[in-house]
């Protein structure tokens, strides 16, 4: 079982502030790193799938970076809005050919306070 850790577990941020959180994953057998946004009472939706060391991806106010050599990815949210409140999941996809190759972290629960 691969170890995918997300921190912090939960985060309260004031509306308008920027924030970031971390996903750490094994630095060997890397294939891809996924980020998903999961709103309460809905299903997870993909934000980014990152495959190359040094990748930076952006969607609106949300961006992510990837460091495969040291095994971490950061997700950044600029100018947080109440609609950003959600749980953010990362998932590590390995190239080892094992079952599925997609291991999820437990998520960072983000609450934006007006």
Q: Which stretches of the chain bind another protein, using CB under 8 A?
A: 1, 4, 31-32, 34, 36, 42-46, 49, 51, 89, 91, 93, 97, 99-107
CB of 70 to another protein, least distance (A): 21
Whether the CB-CB separation of 4 and 23 falls below 8 Å is answered with yes
- Of 71 and 107, nearer to another protein (C-beta) is 107
CB of 43 to another protein, least distance (A): 4
- Of 51 and 53, nearer to another protein (C-beta) is 51
CB of 105 to another protein, least distance (A): 5
């Amino acid at each position: 079982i691969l170890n995918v850790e997300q921190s912090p577990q939960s985060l309260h941020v004031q509306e308008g502030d920027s924030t970031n959180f971390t996903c750490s994953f094994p630095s060997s057998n890397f294939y891809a790193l996924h980020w998903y946004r999961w709103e309460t009472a809905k299903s997870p939706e993909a934000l980014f799938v990152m495959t190359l060391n040094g990748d930076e991806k952006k969607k609106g106010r949300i961006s992510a970076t990837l460091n495969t050599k040291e095994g971490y990815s950061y997700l950044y949210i600029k100018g947080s809005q109440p609609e950003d409140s959600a749980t953010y999941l990362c998932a590590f996809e390995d190239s080892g050919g094992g079952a599925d190759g997609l291991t999820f972290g437990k998520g960072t629960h983000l609450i934006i306070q007006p």
